[in-house]
Structure 1
Amino acid sequence: MAKLSLAALVPIRSDIANKVTELDHERERNAFSVYVKGEKAEEPTRSFALITKELEEAREDFRVIDELIHSANLANKIQWNQQEVSLFTAMQIAKHMRKEAASLKRYGSSKKEEINTGAYFNGGDKTITRAMYDIDLARENALKLERKVKRLSQLIEDECHTIILEFPQAEKYIELED
C-alpha cells in the first residue's frame, strides 16, 4: 500500500492532471485520420478505445487524489495568530497575504507626487497625482507582510510533511522503491 506525505501527493496530483491532458490530446490526435480517397487510412499506434480507457482511469485517479488532498487540508490544523486553523484556511490566508504584500509593495514604490501631462490627462491640462498615504509605511508593511507569509508558508509546509496518506494509485505515477 502506497503511503505518502501530503507534501509528496501534491506534485503527484499535478502529474496526474498533466497525464489527463496528454491523454485527452492523444485521443484527439488519434480520433481521425486524413487520407486521400482510394488510399488506405493510416491506423494509429494506440486505439481510441485504449486511450479512452486510460483517460477514464487517470481522471478517476485525479478525483481520488484531489479528494484525499482536500480532505487532509480541511481535517489537519496548524497554530496561526494564536488560533487553530485548517491547512485549507491557512493556505487561503497565505494567498491573500501574498496579494496584499504585492499591492503594498507597489504602493510603496510610488512617488509622493507626480506631474501628469499630455492629452490623456484632463484634456491636456497639467495635473498632479498625489499619494494620499504614507509611502514609506506601505513599503515597510509590505516587507513585514512578506516575512509573515513566509513564516505561515513554512508552517503549512512542515505540517504537510507530517501527514501520511494512503494512495495506492501512486505506483502508476512515481517509483516508490529505490
Structure 2
Amino acid sequence: MPKITLAEAVKLKSVLSKRIHELEEEMDRLAFFEIEKASPLPTQKRLFQDAEKDIDEIRKDFRLLDKLVYRANIDNEIQFNGDSLSIVEAIELATQLRAKARKCKQFGSAQKEEFLYMIGESSSMLRVAAFEPEEYRIKSLEIERHANRLSNLINSKNYTIELEFDQDKYF
C-alpha cells in the first residue's frame, strides 16, 4: 500500500475537512428545488445522492487517517530536554509552553508600580507588582524559545514517520 508521512497526513486531514464542508454545502444546494406547481423537476448533472456518496467516502478516509495519525502520535517519541515524550505529549507540552509564555509576557509588560487614584488630598492608592516585570519579560522569551524548539522537533519527526494510506485520490 502507498505511504504518506505523518506531516502530509496532518495536512491531508485539513484538506479532507475542507472538502467535507464543501460537500455539505453542495448537498444543501442540491436538496431542494423551487419550481412552479405541476412542473417537472429540472435535470441535473450531479444529484443529491452523488454528493452524499462522495461525502461518505471522504468521511471514511478521514476516520482512517485520523486513527493512523493518533496511533502514530502515541507510538512515536521525541527527545526534549533529556526526556522522551510521545508526540501527543510533546504537542500538549508545546501548547502549554506557549500558554505559559503568553502569561509571562503579560506580566512582563506590567508596571512595577502604578498609580490608581487619590485618597483624600494627601494619599493615593497604588498597584504594586509582587514580582519583577523585567524578569517575566525575559522568562517569556526563554519559554517561547523552548516551545519553538519543541515544535521544530515535532515537525521534523512528523516527516520521518510513514503511514499506510493512499493519498492519490486527494493529491
TM-score, structure 1 normalization: 0.86
* CA separation of 1:112 and 1:40: change in aligned 2, threshold 3 A: farther
- Is it true that 1:95 corresponds to 2:92 in the alignment? no
Distance 1:57 1:129 in 2: 60
In structure 1, the residue corresponding to 2:163 is in which secondary structure? Answer: strand
Deviation (angstroms), 1:111? 1.4
Distance in structure 1 (CA, Å) of the matches to 2:155 and 2:136 = 28
Equivalence for 1:37:
37
Partner of 1:54: 54
Give distance in 1, aligned partners of 2:110 and 2:39. Answer: 68
Match for 1:22: what amino acid?
A: E
SS state at 2:61 partner: helix
SS in 1 for 2:90: helix
1:157 and 2:149 are equivalent in the alignment:
no
Structure 1 residue 19, shift from structure 2 partner: 0.8
What is the aligned-residue identity percentage?
35
In the TM superposition, structure 1's runs of 4+ consecutive aligned residues that sit over 4 Å from their partners are 38-41
Residue 41 to residue 115, structure 1, CA distance change in 2 (3 Å):
farther
Q: Could you say which residue in structure 1 is the equivalent of 2:120?
A: none
Partner of 2:10: 10
Q: Distance in 2 between matches of 1:103 and 1:49?
A: 50
Do residues 171 (structure 1) and 171 (structure 2) align? Answer: no
Partner of 1:122: none
Q: TM-score scaled to structure 2, two decimals?
A: 0.89
In the alignment, the residues of structure 1 paired with residue 111 and residue 138 of structure 2 have an alpha-carbon distance, to the nearest angstrom, of 15
Change (3 A) 1:133 1:29: same
The alignment partner of 2:130 has SS state of coil
Question: How far does residue 93 in structure 1 lie from its aligned partner after superposition?
Answer: 0.2
Is there any run of 5+ residues in structure 1 with no aligned partner, and where? Answer: 118-125
Give 2:26's aligned residue.
26
Name the residue aligned to 1:74.
74
The 3-state SS of whatever aligns with 1:172 is coil
Of residues 2-11 and 56-65 in structure 1, the stretch that sits farther from structure 2 once superposed is 2-11
Aligned residues: 166
Give RMSD over aligned pairs.
1.8
- Structure 2 unaligned segments of length 5 or more: list them: 118-123
- Partner residue in 1 for 2:121: none
Q: 153-162 or 85-94: which moved more?
A: 153-162
Which stretch shows the higher mean deviation, 101-110 or 44-53? 44-53
Shift of 1:113: 2.2
The Cα shift of 1:38 comes to 5.0
Q: Deviations over 1:123-174 (max 9, x none)?
A: xxx7432222110111011000011111111111111111111102x11110
Query: Which of 134, 145, 160 pairs up with 2:143?
Result: 145
